């Protein structure tokens, strides 16, 4: 089984090469934004065209942040389950994507292109694991802690892209990945490194009493487990040139 449209670049770890050139707009981005040109200045249009991908990322992160806050609210203030939240979210997403594919006259608006359907199934299952785990992590962690752990996803994606797809990987990315891993350790505070918590009163433990795990610590560690599972699922769902609406 081969990954469709995988890059052919050679696998090598490259040093960072500073460049003084500013990002330049591509012909594709200028074509997509042709409708915007009459409403903005030339300098603004060039900036938006050259940074279209980054602007999409910023917009996506804003809406993801809104989603995370609402998920945490529902799980902490109501009795709604994680499965129900996922069903509602993905139901709305499916309807919107099918409508969009019909509007652009996609020949396979429901099942996707025949040549990549097995990859769509795999990607859907991996994405389900990532999404379910991300939502479940909010039951034991704060939104900020869970999100910080999930920032390992880009690092793990870069590593797998380097090992499996032969993509380039710079020293800067390796250093950033190690920094992210260190941050996850500080957030999760595993007892094997930081030791167990005391009984809250500063008193030595009573050796005559059986050891009982701290419920808060157990809940937190389960939240860390779900957050790391989300990282694995989200990483597995990345890759290929499948159209976003179909994926």
Task: Divide the 247 residues of the chain into consecutive groups of 10 and give the mean pLDDT of each group.
Answer: 50 51 68 82 86 86 90 91 93 91 86 85 90 92 85 83 80 82 75 54 47 65 90 80 62
pLDDT, residue 3, reads: 54
Torsion sign across C-alpha atoms 35, 41, 42, 46: negative
From the list 124, 123, 183, the residue with the least C-alpha distance to 151 is 183
Per the rule left: phi > 0, alpha: psi between -120 and 50, beta: everything else, 200 is: left
As a whole number of angstroms, the distance between CA 147 and CA 154 comes to 12
pTM: 0.69
As a whole number of angstroms, the distance between CA 39 and CA 67 comes to 31
pLDDT, residue 15, reads: 53
pLDDT, residue 113, reads: 84
Beta bridge partners of 170: 14
pLDDT, residue 191, reads: 63
pLDDT, residue 70, reads: 93
């Amino acid at each position: 089984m081969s990954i469709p449209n995988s890059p052919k670049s050679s696998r090598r770890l490259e040093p960072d090469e500073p460049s003084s050139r500013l990002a330049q707009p591509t012909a594709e981005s200028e074509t997509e934004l042709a409708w915007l040109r009459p409403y903005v200045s030339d300098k603004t249009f060039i900036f938006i065209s050259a940074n279209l991908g980054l602007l999409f990322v910023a917009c996506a992160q804003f809406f993801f942040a809104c989603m995370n806050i609402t998920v945490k609210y529902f799980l902490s203030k109501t009795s709604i389950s994680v499965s129900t939240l996922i069903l509602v979210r993905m139901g709305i997403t499916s309807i919107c994507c099918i409508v969009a594919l019909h509007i652009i006259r996609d020949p396979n608006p429901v099942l996707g292109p025949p040549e990549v359907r097995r990859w769509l199934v795999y990607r859907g299952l991996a994405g389900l694991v990532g999404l379910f785990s991300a939502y479940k992590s909010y039951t034991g962690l704060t939104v900020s802690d869970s999100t910080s752990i999930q920032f390992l996803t880009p690092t793990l994606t870069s590593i797998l892209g380097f090992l499996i797809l032969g993509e380039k990987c710079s020293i800067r990315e390796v250093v950033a990945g190690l920094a992210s891993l260190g941050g996850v350790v500080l957030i999760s505070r595993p007892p094997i490194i930081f030791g167990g918590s005391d009984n809250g009163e500063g008193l030595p433990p009573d050796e005559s009493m059986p050891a009982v795990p701290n419920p808060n610590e157990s809940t937190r560690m389960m939240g860390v487990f779900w957050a790391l599972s989300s990282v694995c699922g989200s990483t597995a769902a990345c890759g290929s040139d499948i159209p976003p609406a179909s994926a």
